Each structure stands twice: as C-alpha cells, then as structure tokens.
Structure 1
Amino acid sequence: MSKTQSKSHSPPSREPAVEQAAWRSIVRHDLPASLVVFLIAIPLSLGIAAASGAPLIAGLVAAVVGGVVAGALGGSPLQVSGPAAGLTVVVAGLVSQFGWAATAGITCAAGLVQILLGVTRIGRLALSLSPAVVHGMLAGIGVTIAVQQLHVVLGGQAQSSLIANLGGLPDQLLAHHAGSVLVGVLTVVILLVWPRIPKVKIVPAPLVAVVAVTALAALFMVDVTRVNLPDNPLQELILPAMPSGTALDIGTAVLTVALVASVESLLSAVAVDKLHRGKRSNLDRELIGQGAANAVSGALGGMPVTGVIVRSSTNVAAGAKSRASAIMHGLWIAVFVLAAGAMLELIPMAALAGVLLVTGLRLVQLAHIRTLRRHDELLVYVVTAAGVAALGLAEGVLAGLVLALGRVLYRLARATVTAAEENGVWTVRIQGTLVFLGVASLVRTLRTVPAGADVRVKLQVDHLDHAAYEAIEDWRRGHIARGGTVELSRSAFRAALKGDAKRRLPWQHEQVVPAPDQRASMLDGIREFEESADLIRPMMAKLAADGQKPTQLFITCADSRIVPNLITTTGPGEQFCVRNVGNLVPPYGSNSNSVDAAVEYAVDVLGVSSIVVCGHSHCGAAGAALDSVDDDGSGLRTWLRHLEPSVRRAVALPDIVDPATGVKLSPADKLSVANVAVQLENLRSFSCVRKAEEAGRLELVGLWFDIGATAARLVLERDPYLVRADEELATANTPADADL
C-alpha cells in the first residue's frame, strides 16, 4: 500500500486543533471574565462574612474554594460559587449557637450530605418546591439582611434578630456616626446610579462603589471602622470542631445548611442557564460539586458555599465561555489575599454594609410578587417571607410549606354544589372534586330541592369518592320514592367514581357526527360549553373588566391540528396568538400588514415578555415549498415565497434527528425546523422587537411540535438542533436559540 493510500485511510487527528481552539477561547473570553468576577467577589465575600458574624478570612476562603472546587466539579459550567447572602441568616444563627469552629464543622458535614443528594440523583426534586415558598424565603432573608446592615451603615453593630434590629434603629439614628453614614449612603447611591449610566455597566457596580468610597475615605481621612484581616491569613484559619449539643440540634443544623445551600445553588444554576446559549446544567452533578466545595471549605475553616447569581450573571455578561473563568477567579482571590491583603484593610465596613443592604433589598423582587399574585400564591409568599424574617429560616419555610400544602388539599377537596329551578325543572350542578369532606355541604344543598320535583343532576367532577357516591345515591332513591324524578348520567357517574371523568377531552365526542350535520355539531359543542361555563365565568368576567395582559406572543401555523393553548397549557388571557400558513413572519417592510400589526401591538402595547414561533411536523406549507410548482400568481403561492430563505437554510444544514427516537427528519420536517429559526431572525428586523430584546425585556423562543409523537421540541442553533422540551423546560426553563 502506498503512502498516499495510507494517508487517505488515516485522516489526521483533530485533537490538537480542538485543544488550541479551547486555549484560545480561555485566553480570549474566560481570562478577562475571571478578572471581572474576582474584583466583584472580594467585597461581596467580605460583606457576607461580616454580616454572618464569621471571621472575614472565612468569607475569602469560601470564595476561593467555591471558585476552584465547585467550578471544577460542578454541573453548571458558567456558575460562580462562593459565600451567598441567602445563607447569611443561617450562618449567623449557627455562629451564635455553636461558635465558629463548630459552624465550620457543620459546613463540612453539610457538604457530605449534598454529595449524597447528588449521587442519589434527586437534584431535580429541589425544583419541585413551591416557587412561592422559595421566593418568599429569599425575600425574608433579604429583608433581614437589609435591616441588619442598616445598623452597620449607621455606624453601629447589627443585632441577632429582625425584631431587635428594628427596635434598635432609633438609637442608631440618634448616635450620629457621620463618617459611617456618609460612606454607606454614598455606596448605596453609586450602586443604584451606576447601572443606569450608558456604556459603563459592564464594570460591576459593587466594585465601583467599594473602590470609590474606599479611595475617598482614605483621601479625606474619614474616621470609620475598616476591614481587619489577620497578618498571616493561613496561620489564623480556625479549623473545624465537633459541635456540642444534642444530636437533634446538630442534625437540624447540618440539614438546614445542606438543603438551603442546595436549593439556592440549583435555582441559581437554572437562572444562569437562561442567560447563555451554551451547555445546560447537570443539576445532580452540580449538587456533587457544591457538596465537595462545602466539605473542603468547612475543613479549611471557611463559610458555606452556594452558587451565587450576582457573580454568575456577571461572569456571563463579561463573556465567559467555560468553567475556566470560575476556577481562575478563585485562584486570583487566593493570590490577592496572600500577596496584597493589606489593601483590603483600607475598605470601610460601612461600604461593605451598603453593598449588602442593596443586595438584600434586591432579593425582594416585584416581578415575583406580580407573578405569584396572578397565580393566587401571594399569601404563601407573604407568610413565608414574614416567617423567615420574624421567626427564623426553618420556621418560616415550614410555615410556607404547610400553608402551600393546605391550599393544595383545599383545592383538591373543594366542590361546588348548586341547585336552581328553571321552567319547572330543578338543576343540581356538582363541580370540582367531591370527597367525604364535602358531603355535608352536598346533602344540605340536595335537601333544598322540593319533594316530587323533576331534577336533572349535572356532574362536572374529576373525582367522586365512595362517601359522596353513597350520599348522592341515597338522596336519589329517597327523592324518587317521594314522587320525584332524577335524570342522572350513569356513565358520567361511574367515570367520576373511577376518577377518569376528565380523561375525555371536551372535543372527544362519543359519536362522530356526519359531515352534513357539522352545523348541528357546532351548536351541540356550544351548548356543552355553556353548560360548563360556570367553571371559567369568574375568570372571564375579570378578564373582561381588567383587559387582556398576555405575557406571550405565540406565532404558529394555521394547521387545524395545532392547538396552542393545549401545547403550552395556557388559559384565557395568557397568550396573544397569531396564526398563518407556515407560521411565517416576513421581514419588516414586506407589506405583511397583519403580521406586522400583531407583532408591534404585542410588543409595544401589550408588553409581552416572550415571543414563541412554533412550527410542526407534517406541515403542508413546508411540503408545498419543496414542490417544484410554478408560481401561478395565486395568493397561496405568493405567500409561500416567504419560505424561500428557509428552504435555502434547510439545504445547507446536515441531517436533523428527533431527540427522543433518533430518527432522521424528513425533508419537509427538516425545512419546518429551519423555518422556525429563520422567522426568529425576521422578528429581529422589527425595531420594537430588537430594542426590547437588547433591553432584556423580551425573549425569543423557537418550538417545533411533533404531531404524531404529541411532543414539543426546542429549536437550537447547534447540533443536534432539536432538544426535548419536556426535559429541558422542566429542569432549566431554557430559552431557545434564535439561529440555526
């Protein structure tokens, strides 16, 4: 065999080229990002340590370990870990109860628990927590931190509880610590104003604030308390010790740190995934990485470590592309503390308190409050936040969980029973879930029906237990015995008793109506809808009074098999929908007035937060675009010209396979996938869309619905181009990428 032949069968390895590209990316993107995150991590770590009652060096140790260990082993490639404001209240309580050495030991044990949670693959279960409880917990922590740090800004010492801090505020206001107040107020002002200045917000506001006020305090010799670090940091580390106390107290402390740190890290990982288009987080691996970081941090005398959204979002915004940025930021902190720790001792404590004050207040997010209010979960949020702030973290979260579970049980066991007479016939309507808890109310209503009356019973329930069944049956027999009549659908009765009353969807009729009677079929459908309209009448009345406030513009095909509200599980008032042949959005200026008007109205007037373009399998428009049929000047052929860019895109793409089955898509389905991405590009030709997306007010999402599989896929710009939306959205709520 000749050398030429040998070479033709042995293609050169691509590994060196791949490695060179990876190193270039690290130097170009991750190295600068790591320096930005390093600069913001130092003041935040010092401030959180001070607010927690921990040694300041412990906060820096946690920042180093969080960056290096969690960055290397975690499952979220762009998340940055370190001491977090969300654990401040927990750590402060542990320090006051056990002392710092024991708290470090508890941190180490909590890390081992986290590793166990990750190994057993229950990371995703943390996302099953009620969002109202999670956001309420963060809000309660935020309020506690803000009030606590307000004391430090005023030149005093923070107390151990929210009540004590509130009670001590008048004395602090009268103490007149002018220097601390000036430093703290100036820090807060810079933090609030700096992000609003154009073209400078790439430099983190906390860094600017701390550097600026530190320089001014040193220049004008302001008399304030400053950071105090040990001269020999490594020799001053307080190693962990075994906590003294009951097994219950110690076990509760370990589980509290492990669970709170886990939930905060996983929520942060999910949030970070929304900020970039790279690899999604592996939540179980993230738990293992966070656990290893906490075990190491506690062993070195450091604070608990979690994923931190402030540092992580800064990391993404600074252009990081891999986990190398988080690792390097931890190394920079270690080098800086060992080589230039004296510079940190120039920082006023009031400046760090100002940073934590603003950070705490930002944990109370109005967007979360509005969302929870819309979904009737605000009470759970308020109870959790108030409980965390007034009683403590465990007590507040427990109160929120109990209330959330109680509301779920109430909703599951609630049934509405009404009886009304019309034209001599009484109608008894039973709606909801009817179990033994509602039997007393059921019987009271049934007894209001006069003896001997003609009665029609309408069951609109998803479940009927045996106690409710016997109550209805006993009443029916008794009413008939007294000369009355009862009309009751036995099939509906049996279905409700078996719990499958709602398995038949509203349009799935038992008999197929012949084509000539379609008008009658439609009227029957309207009649059936009106009979069950009581279920949604209050909602529709509120929407009529308040007007529509949808959060999403959904652009999809006119295909009769596509039902947007069914695919997205949305209800009235939640989705502004545009449908046309081929789910097309012609570029702005194409004289597609109807689509243009809908897009501009949705973005500028309704203020939607997302636009979804949804294509689908077996698309007739895609098939027609691939057919070599001459343009006959018809409206359909003229409209399908807008598919030509999508055809060219599809031709340039490699084969696309279904992520669930691995089966290669047909040419028409491949075209419909490419078409989704092209329409997202076209949306950006609208100035209102482009401006809203750049401002972070709008998200563009691509979907592709497989009709036969009854499954939605997210459209990505990279191979494999499609991902399973059921898994991706459940774990990360990932925005789809715009371009293929």
Structure 2
Amino acid sequence: MTISDGTISRRDWKSVLRHDVPASVVVFLVAVPLSLGVAVASGAPLAAGLIAAVVGGLVVGALGGSVVQVSGPTAGLSLVVAELVHTYGWRATCAITAMAGLLQLGLGALRVARAALGVSPAVVHGMLAGLGVLIALSQLHIVLGGSPQRSALGNVLELPAQIVNNHTHAVLIGVLTIAVLLVWGRIPRLRAVPAPLAALVIATLTAGVAGWDLTKVDLGGGFSSVQTPLAPQGDWHAIAGAVLLVALLSGVESLLTAVSSNRLHDGPRADLDRELTAQGVGNVVSGVLGGLPVAGVVVRTTTNARAGARSRWSTVLHGGWVLLFTTAFAWMIALIPLEALAALLLFIGVQMVNLGHVRNLRNHREVPVYVVTMAGVVLIGLAEGVAIGLALAALLALRRLAWVSVDVRQDGERRWRVVVTGSLTFLGVPRLTEALRAIPAGSAVELDLHLDFMDNAAFVALHDWRLEHERAGGEVDVDETHGEWYSAAINGARLFPARIPPRHDRWWLPWAYRRPDGAHSYGSFEVIEADGGSAAGDGDAVICEPQGVPDLLKGTREFQRRTAPMARPLFTRMARKQSPSHLFITCADSRIVPNIITASGPGDLFTVRNIGNLVPRAGAVPPDDSMAAAIEYAVNVLEVRTITVCGHSGCGAMAALLGELPDLPALRAWLRHGRQSLARFVAAGPGQDADDAGPLDRLCRINVIQQLDNLRTHPLVDARVRAGRLELTGLYFDIGAARVHALEQERFTPVPELRTTG
C-alpha cells in the first residue's frame, strides 16, 4: 500500500492504525531533538531543522521510493551547510539547497540513481566518519563551556585549555546528557522512550530545578521567523560547486540508506530513481521554505522499521507530528539548554565513526581507503578528502584488476606444475616469465590457468614460452578452469565480451558419464549425447549409458587440479572446527548425494548414512550405539538446530520389508528397526494420494515419518524439541523426477523451485 494508491481498503487502514501510527510517534520523538541538534551544528536557525523534518516527512515520505525510509536534516551535511552559511549567509544557503534539489530532480529524470552506488562504500563511510570526528571536536568545546575553532587541528590544540579552565554548569549538563544517552538504551524497560528525547528532557528538568546558568535554545518565533531564499553572490564556479556538493552528498547518503532499508522489512524493494527524485522535490521545497537540506537518515529509518512501520504512512505522519508540535508547543523547545543539544551532537558524531563498517571493509582490504578518506576530511577538507579517497579506491581497484599469482612447483622427477591465477596483463608478464624461466628444459609441465582476463601481451609471452619449451623436448598441458582465453587466442577467436564467463562443466555427473574432451588437451569433461556427440545445451542434453569402471584416484587427481585451488581458502578457514547447522540422516543408497539435493557445501551438514535411513528407538533391541552416539554428538557438542531424516523412492531396505528379507544375517538384524514403519504402513491402508506410485514409495514416505517419531524417543532430542531449541524435519527424494518433497506427518508437499526473474 502507498499513499498514491487510489483507494485504501479497510484492512489497509487497520494496518496503518495498528502499525504505522505508533511507529510514526516513535520516529517523531527521535526526529525533533536530532533536527534541533543538526540545526545548531549547521549554524542555521533552529526552525530550519524543524522545517526540514516536516518536509522530509510530508513531501519526501509521500513521494519517496522506500516505504520505511525517513528523510530530514542529517548530521552528515551539517558541516557543509555551516561552511555555506559562513561564506554566503543563511538565505543564500537556502537558495543553494533549492538549486541542489533541482539538480537531483534532473538526475532522477535521467535514471542515474544506480550509478551513485558505484561510489566505493569505503569512501562514503570514511567521509561520514571524518564528518563525525569534526562534529564531535567542535561540539566538545561547547559542552566544555567554550567556543569551537575553525579547524579540527585548532579544536585539538585548544582542547587542553578548555578542559583545565572550564568547569561551569555547561560541563555538568553536557556530562549528564551523554551519561543518559549511554545508559538509557542498555535498560530494556526504558527503550520504549527514545534515548535522545530522554536525555534532553532530563537535562532540561535538571537545569531548571537546579537553576543552572545555561544558554537556552532560541526558536526565534517558530515558523513565523522563516526567511525566504536569496540568490548567492560571489564566484559562480564556487556556487556551482556548492550546489553539486550538496546534491551529491545528500543524494548518495539517501540512496545508500534506501538500499540498507531493504534489509529492515519485507515490503516492496526501494525504487532508487523515485527516491532520488523525491529527495530533489524535498530539497526544493525545504530550500524555498527556509529549511536545511534533507536526505535519508539511517537512525530515523532504522527506528521506523524497528518500531513496526509497514508503509510510508509512518514517515508522513511523523512529519505531521513535528509540524503540530512546533506550532502548538514551541515554548517547550525554548527551555532546552543549548549545551545539551551540543552534547547530543557530540554523541552522534562519535557514533558516525562506526567500527562495524571497519570490520566489514577489513575483510575486503579496503580499510586504507576508509582511513585515508577520513583523515583527508578531518585534516584538509570535505571535498579534498573525498577526492583523495576516490583516487585511492580507483588505484587499488586497478591494482586488483592487474593482480596475478604465479605458483611453480615440482610434482615429480621430471614433472612441474604451474598455476596462474588472476588477471594476466602486460603488468604481470615480468613475473610470469621470471617464474617460467625456473622450469628445466625437456620437462613435462601442467599449466593451470585460472584467469578472468588475458591481454595480447600476456598471451604472446606465454605462447612463445610454450613453443620454445616444446621445441626443446618438453611437454606443456594447458588447462583453463574458468575462461578459455588461451585456447581462444590460439584459434583466432574474438574475445568478446571483455570477460568470458566460466564453462558450466557438469561436475556433479558420475565418473562413468564423463569422458575427456578430445578437442582440448587439458582434459575438461562434457556430457555425451546418445549419438556420441557433445551436448551443447544444458536443458536438452541426453545422458549416455555409463561406460567403464570408475577410477577413484583419477577423481582425486581431478579434485586436486580443478577444485582444490579454489576451495583451499575455505577448507583452511574451517580446518580447526566444524559448525554444522543440521544433522542429516539419510540412506546409504549411492544415488542420494545430500550436498547436491540440499545445495549445501562443506561444513553445512553433519551426515549419518545407513541402510534405510533408520533411527533405532531408544532402548531398541538389538542396540545401536552408532546412531545414538551421532545424535548425542550432534545435539550436545555441535549444537545443531535441526535434525532431518531424508528418505527416497525405490528404497531397497523398504522393498525388503515388503517382500522377503535377504539371507544376510547382519542386514536382517538391522532391518528389525524398520518394523514400526511396516506396522504403520499396514495400519494406514491403501494410499489415497493422486501421485502415489505404489506401495513401495508409500512405505518409503511413511518410514521417514516413523523415524522422526523414533527420534523423539531419545530423551535428549525430546527435551530440546519441547524447549524449542531443536526442530525435526522430514524430506523425501523422488529419484526418477529429481524432486525433493517435505514430509510432515500425513502431508506430502513438493518443495517449490526457486525461480529467478529477468
């Protein structure tokens, strides 16, 4: 449901009243103190912050592309606005805000919003962190009873004197405000009231009761004091740069917040072009009315989603509450100490240096970009710091694109293996030729190319070395795992598109259904059609009859050559500990491959296999300590959250229960644990399912349900299930249809396919 909908059903109105109205009140209580604080940090009239909050709710909220995003004045733009106010004056700054909105409208019409996401997040987060440091340093002086300096270095140099000489009431109210902000959110019973609101209320009441001499907030007549915009005077190049800076900063911050908001709710995904256009309209309106620039705000958006907002009505209503409060209760705002607002901004500035972003960036080796951008913003300036960060991000991206690894090792007396990984360009040719020079003449070489790009210079160097090595009596076996750059260059094929997608080898096929591809010496595998030709398409391939005896050692060698180099980082990380989430009990049937039918990987499943996927009941005769031990270890030590029993069609164990048991003593003893399944099958009578293939498959399904019941006879499992700490599930794999079904008591539900949309 959106506000632009023609009609709103009674059910939608109930949802608005139940979810969006309470959420809007929570966001309103957060928005008022934050808007006042941003106005103070921006050097703008306090009413300008409230105007921006109202516009962000009523205008941007109604037109925006995200159903939960809340827009308004943001701390990330406060220093930019402060500099504009100092340079051009407040009324000219309003005109710059309106012009920035017009620029955003044009960008939205050109549908370039996605391009903004191409800016490295390390630069964006570094910029916000740098702004947070600047805000915290400047507001710290106000909290200490002094005045902020013009630069971060000046604030740092003046800080010792401020700490030593100022011990006024301003310090006490600042410390009290920060203490409430730190403690309030840690007490569960108090979280219903937003911490910023609680901090300002407590600080205001304390100052009033104690009679402290503090600077009071001057709302200046409320909305009646609004000034109309005035055209800025000065160098038009600088003015155009200011318009561009405000438009880009507010636009990028809004779009990144909109993308992040998608993870906070299950409703429609954010429309970024619509969001950018709405931000443009909002900035035009806010600038014309004398308000601060607006942008999507992470804190308010997160608060809105966590408060239970379901539609954009919450955002719109919060703007209405701000308007109503400012109109009717402006006298309350005048009671707030200015030092308390400075302490709130100090707290916000510190929070803008988010260590969570640093940890995420560290995993991708982008911390240098973050640190350099932050340092540039703090020490040099906003535009300069962002430019330096973008340049460093581009240089690192180019370095990664040109990165290549060449690993040369000896595999035998006269055999060598060379693994080249990465992008092989002219920049990597010296490293490649130096490594190949170490290989003795006349030796056999396995050359594995794990490349996502190869330019002509690299191909010439590699091919010339191969020809020379073969002329000297050596052998070179080239294997390309991902893209066939080398073979395509030999055949004169045009390398288009720029990066060749990897071949979709059917790695899951049994050995007997594969054969070495004669067209390539490196031994790739292809599906063979019934007529002996190679299958070109995935969907129309016809699998031939299996030929020959599988060679286990050949398969391990294939793993070592193709899979191990790519999987080694994963296995290295998992070597010390396993942390599976599922205990997977299934049949020993060779046609059942748990990792294939569940699309899981190493470390996901703790698997137990036996004939008939049977789970002996607790205290069963004959006893089976193997299954009990696996259950104990999985539940107690590995702390799995799910136990799955997976049966399959045409199970030989179930066929034996329906017919004559084989003359195999150990197997006959084991199948005694399936008698409960057989009794349940007889009691159920003939199957009524339309898709029932016969008694055997019906027994296979019933057997899964019975084993789930058998699991509950183990006290450890039963206790965990009752406590809600363990879930039991049943699966059934139809081999002929390659279809997985979910089994729950008497229900038989095919698992739906995951379809993608183009």
TM over 0.5: yes
Q: Which amino acid aligns with 1:252?
A: G
Contact 1:454 1:484 in 2 (8 A): no
Q: How does 1:426-441 map to 2 (within 5 A)?
A: 426-441=416-431
Q: What is the Cα deviation at residue 536 of structure 1?
A: 4.6
State the SS of the aligned residue for 1:417. strand
Residues 619 and 96 of structure 1: CA distance in aligned 2, closer, same or farther (over 3 Å)? farther
Residues 625 and 199 of structure 1: CA distance in aligned 2, closer, same or farther (over 3 Å)? farther
Q: What is the Cα deviation at residue 633 of structure 1?
A: 9.5
Q: Which amino acid aligns with 1:443?
A: T
Higher mean displacement: 344-353 or 426-435: 426-435
Work out the CA distance in 2 between the residues paired with 1:515 and 1:144.
70
Which deviations, in whole Å up to 9, do the C-alpha atoms of 1:269-304 show, x marking residues without a partner?
Answer: 233332333333222222221111111001111111
Q: What is the Cα deviation at residue 467 of structure 1?
A: 0.9
The question of 1:539 aligning with 2:569 is answered: yes
Which deviations, in whole Å up to 9, do the C-alpha atoms of 1:57-103 show, x marking residues without a partner?
Answer: 21111111111111111122222211012222322232233332222
Q: How does 1:315-326 map to 2 (within 5 A)?
A: 315-326=304-315
Q: How does 1:125-274 map to 2 (within 5 A)?
A: 125-231=115-221, 233-274=222-263
Q: How does 1:67-466 map to 2 (within 5 A)?
A: 67-231=57-221, 233-421=222-410, 422-451=412-441, 455-466=445-456
Residues 364 and 490 of structure 1: CA distance in aligned 2, closer, same or farther (over 3 Å)? closer
Contact 2:125 2:370 in 1 (8 A): yes
Q: What is the Cα deviation at residue 235 of structure 1?
A: 4.2
Work out the CA distance in 2 between the residues paired with 1:136 and 1:613.
44
Work out the CA distance in 1 between the residues paired with 2:33 and 2:752.
42
Identity %: 43
Work out the CA distance in 1 between the residues paired with 2:606 and 2:281.
49
Residues 723 and 536 of structure 1: CA distance in aligned 2, closer, same or farther (over 3 Å)? closer
Partner of 1:714: none
Q: What is the Cα deviation at residue 538 of structure 1?
A: 6.9
Partner of 1:732: none
Higher mean displacement: 83-92 or 119-128: 119-128
Which deviations, in whole Å up to 9, do the C-alpha atoms of 1:497-533 show, x marking residues without a partner?
Answer: 745483354827136597464631x533421332357
Work out the CA distance in 2 between the residues paired with 1:596 and 1:290.
57
Structure with a larger share of its residues in helix: 1
The question of 1:529 aligning with 2:572 is answered: no
Residues 578 and 542 of structure 1: CA distance in aligned 2, closer, same or farther (over 3 Å)? closer
Equivalent in 550, 553, 568 of residue 519 of structure 1: 550
Contact 1:495 1:501 in 2 (8 A): no
Work out the CA distance in 1 between the residues paired with 2:598 and 2:458.
31
Residues 349 and 541 of structure 1: CA distance in aligned 2, closer, same or farther (over 3 Å)? same
State the SS of the aligned residue for 1:510. strand
Higher mean displacement: 303-312 or 393-402: 393-402
Work out the CA distance in 1 between the residues paired with 2:343 and 2:19.
31
Work out the CA distance in 2 between the residues paired with 1:28 and 1:302.
32
Higher mean displacement: 243-252 or 81-90: 243-252
Contact 2:505 2:526 in 1 (8 A): no
Contact 2:58 2:315 in 1 (8 A): yes
The question of 1:494 aligning with 2:452 is answered: no
Work out the CA distance in 1 between the residues paired with 2:251 and 2:32.
23
Residues 541 and 325 of structure 1: CA distance in aligned 2, closer, same or farther (over 3 Å)? closer
Q: Which amino acid aligns with 2:42?
A: S
- Give the CA RMSD over aligned residues: 4.6
State the SS of the aligned residue for 1:199. helix
Contact 1:455 1:484 in 2 (8 A): no
Residues 426 and 19 of structure 1: CA distance in aligned 2, closer, same or farther (over 3 Å)? closer
Q: What is the Cα deviation at residue 216 of structure 1?
A: 0.7
Q: Which amino acid aligns with 1:358?
A: F
Work out the CA distance in 1 between the residues paired with 2:753 and 2:117.
20
Q: Which amino acid aligns with 2:286?
A: S
State the SS of the aligned residue for 2:526. coil
Work out the CA distance in 2 between the residues paired with 1:624 and 1:457.
56
Work out the CA distance in 2 between the residues paired with 1:202 and 1:340.
22
Q: What is the Cα deviation at residue 485 of structure 1?
A: 2.2
Work out the CA distance in 2 between the residues paired with 1:625 and 1:383.
66
Q: Which amino acid aligns with 2:502?
A: K
Which deviations, in whole Å up to 9, do the C-alpha atoms of 1:614-664 show, x marking residues without a partner?
Answer: 9xxx9999x9996386699967533257999xxxxxxxxxxxxxxxxxxxx
State the SS of the aligned residue for 1:279. coil
Q: Which amino acid aligns with 1:524?
A: K
Q: Which amino acid aligns with 1:494?
A: S
Higher mean displacement: 200-209 or 236-245: 236-245
State the SS of the aligned residue for 1:274. helix
TM-score of the two chains, using structure 1 as the length reference? 0.73
Contact 1:204 1:314 in 2 (8 A): no
State the aligned residue count.
628
Work out the CA distance in 2 between the residues paired with 1:63 and 1:374.
37
Q: How does 1:41-60 map to 2 (within 5 A)?
A: 41-60=31-50
The question of 1:639 aligning with 2:704 is answered: yes
Work out the CA distance in 1 between the residues paired with 2:326 and 2:307.
23
Work out the CA distance in 1 between the residues paired with 2:752 and 2:109.
28
Partner of 1:510: 526
Q: Which amino acid aligns with 1:401?
A: L
Contact 1:631 1:638 in 2 (8 A): no
Contact 1:461 1:501 in 2 (8 A): no
State the SS of the aligned residue for 1:302. coil
Q: Which amino acid aligns with 2:556?
A: I
Which deviations, in whole Å up to 9, do the C-alpha atoms of 1:242-290 show, x marking residues without a partner?
Answer: 2334343222222221222122222222333323333332222222211
Residues 596 and 217 of structure 1: CA distance in aligned 2, closer, same or farther (over 3 Å)? farther
Q: Which amino acid aligns with 2:132?
A: G
Q: How does 1:696-715 map to 2 (within 5 A)?
A: none
Which deviations, in whole Å up to 9, do the C-alpha atoms of 1:457-510 show, x marking residues without a partner?
Answer: 4433232211112212333444455x3424243986314774548335482713
Which protein is bigger by CA-based radius of gyration? Answer: 2
Q: Which amino acid aligns with 1:510?
A: E
Higher mean displacement: 249-258 or 416-425: 416-425
Equivalent in 457, 471, 475 of residue 467 of structure 1: 457
Contact 1:625 1:640 in 2 (8 A): no
Q: Which amino acid aligns with 1:430?
A: V
Q: What is the Cα deviation at residue 144 of structure 1?
A: 2.4
Work out the CA distance in 1 between the residues paired with 2:755 and 2:237.
42
Work out the CA distance in 2 between the residues paired with 1:449 and 1:30.
70
Residues 405 and 139 of structure 1: CA distance in aligned 2, closer, same or farther (over 3 Å)? same
Work out the CA distance in 2 between the residues paired with 1:448 and 1:189.
66
